[in-house]
Amino acid sequence: MSLRRKGTEQLRKAAGEIFQAALDAVNPRTAVHRHLRRDGEKLLADGEVYDLRERRIYVVGAGKASGVMAAAVEEVLGDRISAGVVVVKDSHGLPLQRIRIHEASHPVPDARGVQAKAAILALLEKTRPEDLVIVLISGGGSALLPAPVAGTDLAEKQVVTRELIRCGATIEEINAVRKHCSRVKGGQLARAVQPASCLTLVLSDVIGDRLDVIASGPTAPDPTTYKDTLEVLRRYGLQDRIPASIRQYLESGAKGEVPETPKPGDICFEKVRHLIVGNNFQALLAGRDRAASLGFQTLLLTAALQGESREVAKTLAALLLEMRRSGHPVPPPACLLLGGETTVTVRGRGKGGRNQELTLAVAAAIAGEEDLVIFSAGTDGTDGPTDAAGAVADGETCPRAKQAGLDPCGALEDNDSYHFFEGLGDLIKTGPTLTNVMDITLLLAG
């Protein structure tokens, strides 16, 4: 039986299978083992060889996937690890032998993250020139490793984080500010690692795999400046909405009264090496292969999807409708795959996330159409401040919603996509996936 005749329910099921295949491809444990292996007293890391004799090894890290990455490093190095400290999001911890796991709050930092940061810095004080520090970085690391600068405190950083998230700023803009309000981000952790060698393993959750942006680049050179942070505040009208102490600190930095974050060429990066062990594109490739095996004509459109969710939705809806009407850009049964991360400017009082809002806006545009499905979810299993990874919808979503007394337009206006899809049973709930490579969006036409 063809996918066309199987209809919407079969398309929804296929979308779930394709998404799972994408997740499997960026499992952090598998990703680390692809790039790291031990050969006797040598550690091999994509062509780089580290002699383990007379060398102490420390492991530190932060991010949603860093716990599983740490487990993989333990599997490779075992008792050659002297000690380690890694901080993960709540419910992302797991028991390890040599590395201590701390849990902390995300996306708004909390005191547990500050304590974990202190434990990491205390460990790094022990390093010698002959030692190796393996740093594990994944998305979420910025919030999980808070280190307020002098004259500011955690509560003030929490305000800044909330305001930056609500205003619709990009992750690059958010992290530019974070780096300049921190004592470890923006390359400053690399200073703490000195004089040891540093190998940073990165699971990327940003478009373009920019090392300075992923988790605010704790071991990478920072090209942004204090002046850039003030421009971000001005662009989103946040000058008077963030604590005065932080604004004044950033202004002092722009005047040269506070040292800048380390830039390219700084001596602290002389013994630092980075390896990208997984990213969104790898996930999309695996999803594409799974879609093809299910009988779909496939097209991987981009791993750089970004923009305001409901604006991006207009283009995605147009693609779905075009496949139905003309068979372009691929004829049905078709699956278009997109990765990246959109944003939501919060104006309402509802609950939701970027994937849920994107899906709702597409659902409104394809209402009444047959055999069209959108599936959009975060690979980390969370979408905004919710317990859902995203949502799935089709041409019957809005008609069904109206029969159930739900208002699609009202939900969009109030940024309340979560309760809309909850009422229909169309939230995607995976629980913690223990990986994080941005979002996957699937457009299916039967």
Put residue 381 in one of left, alpha, beta given phi > 0 → left and psi -120 to 50 → alpha.
left
Regions of the chain with pLDDT less than 50: 1-5
| Predicted local distance difference test score (pLDDT) of residue 7 | 86
- The pLDDT tens digits of the residues spanning 371-392 come to 999 999 999 999 999 999 999 9
Q: Is residue 172, in this structure, part of any structural domain at all? A: no
Instruction: Specify whether 267 is located in the same domain as 388.
Output: no
Assigned domain for 311 exists? yes
Residues in the chain: 446
Residues 69 and 207 both lie in one domain:
yes
Residues 400 and 269 in one domain: no
Q: Is residue 40 part of a domain?
A: yes
User: What's residue 2's pLDDT?
Assistant: 41
345 plus 437 within the same structural domain:
yes
What's the confidence (pLDDT) of residue 5? 43
Residue 115 domain boundaries: 28-147+182-224+261-278
8 A C-beta contact, residue 392 and residue 15: yes
Domain shared by 364 and 401, yes or no: yes
The mean of the pLDDT values for the chain is: 96
300 and 325 assigned to the same domain: yes
Q: How many structural domains comprise the chain?
A: 2
CATH number at residue 122: 3.40.50.10180
Residue 403 lies in a domain: yes
